[in-house]
Amino acid sequence: MSKVTAKYQITIPQRVRKELGIVPGAEVDIAKEGKKYVLVIDPIRALHRKWRGKFKNGSTTMEYMNRVRGEVN
Question: What span, in angstroms and rounded, lies between the C-alpha atoms of 35 and 62?
Answer: 35
Confidence class for position 9, pLDDT limits 50, 70, 90:
very high
Q: What is the pLDDT of residues 12-65, one digit of tens each?
A: 999 998 888 888 878 888 999 999 999 888 756 666 666 677 777 777 777 877
Question: What span, in angstroms and rounded, lies between the C-alpha atoms of 22 and 28?
Answer: 9
Domain range list for the chain: 1-41, 42-73
Q: Which CATH number fits domain 1-41: 3.40.50, 2.60.220, 3.30.70, 2.10.260?
A: 2.10.260
pTM higher than 0.85: no
